[in-house]
Chains A and B, each alone.
Chain A
Amino acid sequence: MFELADQPIDSAAWRTRLAHGAAGALVVFEGWVRNHHLGRPVTELEYEAFDAHARLEGEAIIAEVEQDYPGCRVCCVHRTGRLRVGELSVWIGAAAPHRAAAFLACRQVIEELKRRLPVWKKEHHPDGATEWVNCTAEAATSRLSPETYHARQIALPEVGAAGQAALAAASLLVVGVGGLGCPAALYLATAGLGRLTLADGGLVELSNLHRQILFTADEVGVAKATAAAARLKAHNPLARIEAFATRVTPLNVRTLVAGRTAVLDCTDNFTARFLLHDACRAAGVPLVSAAVHRFEGELTVYAPGTPGCLHCQWPAHRPAELDATGDCASGPVFAPTVGVLGVMQAAEALKLILRTPGADFRHTRLLNLLDASVLAVERTANPSCPVCGQPAIIRSDRTPSRPDVILTEEAFVALGPVRTAWLLEAGETARAGFPGAECVLAGDVLRLRELAAAGPLVLACRSGVRSAALARLLRAEGMGAVFARAVGAT
């Protein structure tokens, strides 16, 4: 709840409004009129508001904070009119189940309010002079200037004014705000990006803190995306950072990835890795991916024009089986490994935006922190990859033969009404003569997975080779009823 008040604030009454049974902590911020500012004595303050706009903005700030800290209730009242020294100008209360969220929520309200609320104050001095705060020539020169903030970066010949403008126009998504995501986001937040979104559905845990360097012990139990965004906004008030405190799923991944300049995969499991890879591939968005195992890590950039894809590397594997072979989600971690890899991910993403000469996205880097070595491994496309390979070369015998995957014409008819997808090769246009089939770009595994998740699915393509290979790939991932029509069946 947000209010503008032209009369003194009754803080006791506001405090009562916030009381609720589930609240275990109330943090209150009171702004007081003080008798000096920038070395000059002050006798009175005069507050003026753009009324309708201030109410909307105030309500919006509170709604955002209440959404960021589930279970938290926030009230804020801001004075207008003339106030004497010692009077209360703003009162903010945040009541939450636990103190960590209450402290963070209260802080976030006052910081956002000072940045966004269309309210102005005029200082009255003992000599009768007056001054609108922040509107003087000195304020204009001392303001947080992006040009000054980024000066040492702009001075790089590889950046310059044009590069900085490219960064300001860029939109990045970091998925996973953990050991990799924290250091990556820290360097991205200071780069001057147009938009930076942090996505993570998890909460800060005590056993995370040794490597997830954006979080403090006070923040255990708070949503990681929210806590990280708050920390980074404090670090760089110029940065435009959004928290998406929800797990990335097949349902939301397309929206999250759409329109991005690049995406950073900072997750710790193969299910998320394949999901992000496939969504980025479908959207033509470069993906900067990293993975670590104890003292070792791997860094790969998948971008349009780089050789191969994730499926070339792990053909027809179930993500769950790959996860079971490692221990990245819960196993031991040497913290500097994720630190180095996360910072390298940030560097690769910035180089993608800046189109830095000499950048090499064709090699995968293998790092070993035990002997401090970096090995560049050339990636090659697997010509028979069911996702990015050539139809003439794709082998459909990669997995043990499952005779029920290929449907004869008879079996297809016997199946009755069923969803069908026609796999479009590059350059092939939507095909007439196959009524009811959805045309899907051959490499868009994400869409095929969506269709398969909704029920039985039959794949078809011109040669019958890719449809068989992709049907087997989806089966291997655990999708049950995915079939391919036999060659020649139309």
Chain B
Amino acid sequence: MNPTAPRLLQLQFFAALREQAGCSTLAVETAARTPAELYRELQACRGLTLPAELLRVAVNARYVAMDTPLQAGDHVVFIPPVAGG
């Protein structure tokens, strides 16, 4: 598969990111190859303000590195700094 061809991803947002994105879930078609690239896109087009270095990312319910290649159909969740307890 051409790594830069646009593909469809399922995004889910929580807490501060959910409020900034204005939605809990979002299907996006994107040419972003990695979560890092995807987050830069989202910052530009949805006004997300949390700096990327504060976030972790879970793809298909597994924590992965921000430079992990994304596949079509991936479920991507950017995790803001947690605050349980």
Q: Which A residues are within 8 Å of any B CB, using their own CB? A: 31, 47-48, 50, 52-53, 56, 78, 89-90, 110, 113-122, 132-135, 139-140, 143
Which residues from A are CB-within-8-Å of B51?
140
Which residues from A are CB-within-8-Å of B12?
50
Residue among B51, B61, B79, B81 facing the most chain A CB atoms (10 A cut-off): B81
Which residues from A are CB-within-8-Å of B5?
none
Q: Within the complex, what minimum Cβ distance (angstroms) separates B63 from chain A?
A: 9
Check if B81 sits within 8 Å of A52, measured CB to CB.
no
What is the number of contacts between chain A and chain B, taking CB atoms within 8 Å?
Answer: 69
Which residues from B are CB-within-8-Å of A143?
54, 81
How many angstroms between the C-alpha atoms of A354 and B85 in the bound complex? 39
Check if B82 sits within 8 Å of A120, measured CB to CB.
yes
How many angstroms between the C-alpha atoms of A426 and B17 in the bound complex? 58
Residue among A47, A78, A89, A133 facing the most chain B CB atoms (10 A cut-off): A133
Q: Does B83 contact A (CB under 8 A)?
A: yes
How many angstroms between the C-alpha atoms of A140 and B55 in the bound complex? 11
Q: 19 pairs across A/B with beta carbons < 8 Å?
A: A48-B15, A48-B18, A50-B77, A52-B61, A53-B58, A90-B85, A113-B84, A113-B85, A114-B82, A114-B83, A114-B85, A117-B82, A117-B84, A118-B14, A120-B83, A120-B84, A121-B84, A135-B15, A140-B51
Known: A50-B77, A132-B80. A120 touches B14 (CB 8 A): yes
Partner pick for A119 among B19, B77, B83, CB 8 A cutoff: B83
Check if B84 sits within 8 Å of A134, measured CB to CB.
no
How many angstroms between the C-alpha atoms of A140 and B18 in the bound complex? 18
How many angstroms between the C-alpha atoms of A132 and B84 in the bound complex? 12
Which residues from A are CB-within-8-Å of B15?
48, 120, 122, 132, 135
Q: Does B64 contact A (CB under 8 A)?
A: no
Partner pick for A135 among B50, B58, B77, B84, CB 8 A cutoff: B50
Dominant SS at the A interface? mixed
Check if B80 sits within 8 Å of A78, measured CB to CB.
no
Which residues 60-85 of B have a CB within 8 angstroms of A? 61, 77, 79-85
Which residues from A are CB-within-8-Å of B85?
31, 78, 89-90, 110, 113-114
How many angstroms between the C-alpha atoms of A440 and B71 in the bound complex? 43
Which residues from A are CB-within-8-Å of B61?
52-53, 56
Partner pick for B84 among A52, A56, A114, A139, CB 8 A cutoff: A114
How many angstroms between the C-alpha atoms of A116 and B83 in the bound complex? 9
Which residues from A are CB-within-8-Å of B58?
50, 53
How many angstroms between the C-alpha atoms of A114 and B83 in the bound complex? 6
A119 closest partner in B (C-beta): B84
Query: Interface residues of B, CB < 8 Å — how many?
Result: 19
How many angstroms between the C-alpha atoms of A39 and B12 in the bound complex? 33
Given contacts A121-B83, A132-B19, A133-B83, 5 further A-B contacts (CB under 8 A): A31-B85, A50-B14, A115-B82, A120-B16, A121-B84
Check if A134 sits within 8 Å of B83, measured CB to CB.
yes
How many angstroms between the C-alpha atoms of A305 and B84 in the bound complex? 50
Known: A53-B58, A53-B61. A134 touches B14 (CB 8 A): no
Which residues from B are CB-within-8-Å of A110?
85
Which residues from A are CB-within-8-Å of B79?
50, 118
Residue among A116, A120, A122 facing the most chain B CB atoms (10 A cut-off): A120
How many angstroms between the C-alpha atoms of A119 and B79 in the bound complex? 9
Which residues 20-62 of B have a CB within 8 angstroms of A? 50-51, 54, 58, 61
How many angstroms between the C-alpha atoms of A407 and B74 in the bound complex? 63
How many angstroms between the C-alpha atoms of A187 and B61 in the bound complex? 35
Residue among A89, A122, A135 facing the most chain B CB atoms (10 A cut-off): A135
A89 closest partner in B (C-beta): B85
How many angstroms between the C-alpha atoms of A53 and B79 in the bound complex? 11
Check if A135 sits within 8 Å of B14, measured CB to CB.
no
How many angstroms between the C-alpha atoms of A139 and B19 in the bound complex? 18
How many angstroms between the C-alpha atoms of A118 and B17 in the bound complex? 13
Check if B77 sits within 8 Å of A53, measured CB to CB.
yes
Which residues from B are CB-within-8-Å of A89?
85
Which residues from B are CB-within-8-Å of A90?
84-85
Q: Within the complex, what minimum Cβ distance (angstroms) separates A77 from chain B?
A: 12
How many angstroms between the C-alpha atoms of A472 and B22 in the bound complex? 75
A111 closest partner in B (C-beta): B85
